[in-house]
A and B are shown apart, each in its own frame.
Chain A
Amino acid sequence: MSKIAVMGDYDSIYGFATLGLDTFPVDEKEEGTQLLHRLAGSGYGIIYMTEKLGEMLAGAREEYMGRISPAIILIPGVSGNTGEGISRVKGSVEQAVGSDILFGEEM
C-alpha cells in the first residue's frame, strides 16, 4: 500500500489535502530536492508536482525516470501552465520514435 503526495507552492496544492492526498508545500530547489528523495524513499507511489517546481527539480526527477515507482507527474499550478507537462509527453514520443510524429503540429 502506498500513498500519493503533492508537491508545489502552497497556493497551488492546498486543495488536494481535502481529497486525502498528502501535500508538501515547497518552493525552493534545495528543499524540494531533499523532499523529493525523502518521499520517494518512504513509499509514495505517485508524486504530483507543480510544473514550476518540476522545472526546478528536473535533475532530481531524472533519477526516477527509469524506475517503476514513484511516478512523478507534473500538474499546472495556480499561477498557470508552463507547458512542461505537455512537452514531457512529446519528449517521450521523440525518445521512442526518433522524432515527434504525433503531436508535432499541435501547439
Chain B
Amino acid sequence: MAATQVNPTRMELTRLKKKLVTAIKGHRLLKDKRDELMREFLELVRENMELRKRVEAGIRSANTNFVVARAGMPEEVLHAALMAPKQEVTLAEDVKNVMSVDIPVYKYSTRTPDPNDIYSYGFAFTSSDLDGAVKSLADILPEMLRLAEVEKSCQLMASEIEKTRRRVNALEHVIIPDTQAGIKYITMKLDENERSTQIRLMKVKDMMLEEAHRYSEKQNH
C-alpha cells in the first residue's frame, strides 16, 4: 500500500528503516501516555461528577434560603446589607504537570481568618433567614473551589487525551504500515535489480565466450 512514490535506493531504504524504528518507539511511548492519562482522567472525572452533584444541590438549597430571606425583608434593606462585603477571597494558582498536561492547583485564602466575617451587616435589621442563607453558601465554597480545579483539569486532560489518541492511531494505522510497505517495496526492487544484473552478466559472459572461441561455428563443421 505504498501510496507515495519512493525511490528504490539503498539510501532511501536506510532512511525508511530508521523512520520505522522511531515510529514504533513513538507509538509505544504515546500509547503508554494515553493509557496513563486515561487512568488519571477517569479517576478525576468520577470525582468531578460527585462534586458537581454535591455543589449543585448545595447551591440550589442556598438559593432557596435566599429566596426565603428575601421574602422576609424589604429589598432595599437586603441590598444595603450585602452592599459592602467584609470578606475577600484571593486565589493562589499553581500548576501541576500530569503526563505533560498542565493542570491547575488552587489554594485560596480569605482576607480575614474569622469565618464569621461573611456577615457583612448588623443583625438588627435583617432577618435570621439571611444569616442561614449566607452560611449555607459559605459552607459549599470549599467544594466549589475544588470543583473548579477538578473540572478544569478534566477539560484539559480530555483534549490532551483526544490529541494523543489521534496520534497513536495515525502512527498505528498509517505511518507504520506505510513505512513497512515502502521498505518491502524497496527491498523487492533492489533484489529484482540485482537478479537482472546477474542475468545480464551471465548473458554477456556467454556472448564474450562465443566471440572468443566461436563455439557455434565449430559445431557446424
Question: For B63, what are the chain A residues with a Cβ–Cβ distance below 8 Å?
Answer: 12, 15, 76-78
Instruction: Tell me which residues across on chain A come within 8 A of B187, comparing CB atoms.
Output: none
- Is B156 interfacial (CB 8 A cutoff)? yes
Contacting B at CB under 8 A, from A65-107, are 65-66, 68-69, 71, 73, 75-78, 81, 85-86, 88-89, 92-93, 95-98, 102-103
A68-B102, A71-B149, A96-B161 given; name 9 further pairs at CB < 8 Å.
Answer: A1-B91, A2-B92, A15-B62, A15-B63, A18-B137, A69-B104, A88-B151, A97-B38, A103-B49
Our pick among B38, B104, B133 for the contact of A71 (Cβ within 8 Å) is: B104
**How would residues 1 to 37 of chain A score, 1 for a CB under 8 Å from any chain B CB and 0 otherwise?**
1111000000010111111110000000000000000
Closest Cβ of chain B: how far from A68's Cβ, in Å? Answer: 5
Contact B41 A15 (CB under 8 A): no
* A56 located at the interface, meaning its Cβ lies under 8 Å from any Cβ of chain B in the complex: no
- Least Cβ distance of A17 to chain B in Å? 5
A-B contact pairs, 23 of them (CB 8 A): A3-B89, A4-B91, A14-B66, A15-B63, A15-B134, A15-B137, A18-B82, A18-B87, A18-B137, A45-B93, A45-B106, A46-B145, A48-B144, A66-B156, A71-B148, A73-B144, A78-B63, A85-B52, A89-B45, A95-B161, A96-B38, A97-B161, A102-B49
Please report the number of residue pairs spanning A and B whose Cβ atoms sit closer than 8 angstroms. 138
Listed from nearest, the 3 A-B pairs whose CB atoms lie closest are A71-B152, A20-B87, A92-B158
Residues of B within 8 A of A75 (CB): 55-56, 59, 144
Chain B residues with a Cβ closer than 8 Å to the other chain, count: 59
Q: Pick the residue among B48, B92, B118 that contacts A89 (CB under 8 A).
A: B48
Q: A2-B90, A18-B120 are in contact. Are A68 and B60 (CB under 8 A)?
A: no
A1 touches B104 (CB 8 A): no
A68–B152 CB distance below 8 A:
yes
> What is the bound-complex CA distance between A98 and B96, given in angstroms?
26
B88 CB within 8 Å of chain A: yes
Number of interface residues of A (CB under 8 A): 39
Kindly report which residue of chain B lies nearest to residue A65, judged by CB atoms: B155
User: A residues 27-70 with Cβ under 8 Å of B?
Assistant: 45-46, 48, 65-66, 68-69
Give the complex CA separation of A96 and B151 in angstroms: 14
- Verify A95–B162 contact, CB threshold 8 A: yes
Annotate B148-186 by CB proximity to A: 1 below 8 A, 0 otherwise. 110110111111011001000000000000000000000
A21 to B89, CA, bound (A): 6
**B23 at the A interface (CB under 8 A):** no
Interface centre among B63, B86, B87 (most CB of A within 10 A): B63
The CA-CA distance from A46 to B153 in the complex, in Å, is 13
Q: Are B52 and A96 in contact (CB under 8 A)?
A: no
Q: Which of B107-151 contact A (CB under 8 A)?
A: 108, 110-111, 118-120, 133-134, 137-138, 141, 144-145, 147-149, 151
Report the separation of the CA atoms of residues A32 and B91 in the bound assembly, to the nearest whole angstrom. Answer: 23
CA separation between A88 and B48, bound complex, in Å?
11
